[in-house]
Amino acid sequence: MAKHSAAGFMTRALHAEGHAKPMNAHTQPIFQTSTFYFDSAEHGADLFAGRQAGHIYTRIGNPTVEAYESVVADLEGGGAAVAFSSGLAAIYAALMSLLSSGDHVLSGDTLYGPSVNLIGQVMRRFGVESTFIDTSDPEAIKRGLRADTRVLFLETPANPTCRVTEIRKAAQLAHEAGARVVVDATFATPYFLRPLELGADISLHSTTKFINGHGDVVGGVATASPELAKTIRKFRTDTGACPAPMDAFLSLRGIRTLGLRMERHNRNALAVAQYLQQHEKVSRVYYHGLPDDPGHTAAKREMSGFGATFSFELTGGYAAAKRMLKGIEMMTLAVSLGTLDTLIQHPASMTHASVPEEIMRQQGLTPEMVRIHVGLEEADDIIADLEQALAKA
């Protein structure tokens, strides 16, 4: 099946080119090998010189990984995808493929906690400056862009407050200033949001989450134009953050049901958010799927659905949040998201614990905030567990 055909998302998820079946295998085989042999010394030399296509070493390329990358690129509407051993590795490679010492990155101020630390602390050691702003505000982007800004980095919807940035507007402003746009769209998945189609240069996902969907893989992926993807791939080869063939296989398996899962995740999340919004012990729900959420209109312009992960605050503060989390029965107290079952956690002391306090305040991340990833259970059962847990808060 040709890439970027007119077929629908689920059809492409099942039949895109990466699902080719070597030796008539119905499922893409796992090439669980570290190295590949050469037919001759000349054959090996031609492979290393790029005169002939083929495989050398799994850090450089592996058929299972490449099949997975091909399907992701198709679903993202991009030229090529590069898979990584983690979402954070994908972010680091995407950024460092575009940045050098002395460059400036303008970043959203609401991000996954380790992304804040990577951009604000780790990359600073290598001479990359950074500024954190509210990227949902176009005027803030205008003010933040500098002559030395090379990258605008953002999450949308952002973790954990679901703040929404309109990619098309942000990309226009960044490109006018000579900067590239890198978008982490993990919360949305390619099923609900395709940043490249809206003007972004690189689309990122922690495939640990929804793309794999089963909680048994850690991985990431970056999708871009073929030229830019080649640069990112070279960075991956040089730094060694390649995914294992088994992880690529499991993520490729997850893609086959991504559309089905996201539809139910989305439906359940809206029901849970509506329940929490009217609960007397909940002071605020941060979910762009609710019509009165500040990001709802922007999300509707660029997304086809709202996703499954959001946050809410308890009226009783941090103590109430702790009591509630202690009282859960069916839900799982765990970080991460995108799994089949419902996960719940406390961002300030868990996923975002590494975020400096001033950035945490800037993000609007409060001690009374709880983040929930709404799974595929019956919505009534999720709500029932929340009901009894909130009664203890």
Tell me which of 74, 109, 134, 184 is the catalytic residue: 184
Q: Which amino acid is at 28?
A: Q
Determine which one of 12, 150, 209, 322 is catalytic. Answer: 209
> Catalytic residue among 3, 46, 57, 59, which?
59
Residue 16 CB: number of other CB atoms within 10 A? 23
3-class state of residue 20 by DSSP: coil
Quote the CA–CA distance of 89 and 235 in Å, as a whole number. Answer: 11
Give the global pTM.
Answer: 0.94
Q: Whole-angstrom Cα distance, residue 68 to residue 50? A: 22
Amino acid at 369: M
Question: Can you tell me the distance from the alpha carbon of 145 to that of 139, in angstroms, rounded to the nearest whole number?
Answer: 10
Our answer to whether residue 109 is catalytic in this structure is no
Cα–Cα dist 251/70, whole Å: 12
Is residue 371 annotated as part of the catalytic site, yes or no? no
Q: Set out the domains of the chain in order of their start, with CATH numbers.
A: 9-255 (3.40.640.10), 258-391 (3.90.1150.10)
Task: Indicate which residue of 74, 103, 109, 112 is catalytic.
Answer: 112
Angle at 84 between CA 178 and CA 226, to 5 degrees: 45
209 included as an active-site residue? yes
Per-residue pLDDT of the chain (393 residues; tens, 9 = 90+): 444 467 899 999 998 877 767 778 888 899 999 999 999 999 999 999 999 999 999 999 999 999 999 999 999 998 899 999 999 999 999 999 999 999 999 999 999 989 999 999 999 999 999 999 999 999 999 999 999 999 999 999 999 999 999 999 999 999 999 999 999 999 999 999 999 999 999 999 999 999 999 999 999 999 999 999 999 999 999 999 999 999 999 999 999 999 999 999 999 999 999 999 999 999 999 999 999 999 999 999 999 999 999 999 999 999 999 999 999 999 999 999 999 999 999 988 887 777 777 777 777 778 899 999 999 999 999 999 999 999 999
Is 12 assigned a catalytic role?
A: no
Assigned token pair, 310: 């959001």
Say whether 391 sits in a helix, a strand or coil: helix
Q: What pLDDT, on a 0 to 100 scale, did the predictor assign at position 5?
A: 60
**pLDDT value for 360:** 74
- CA-based nearest residue to 372, from 227, 271, 253, 230: 271
Contacts of 193 (CB under 8 A, 6+ apart): 156, 185, 302, 303, 304
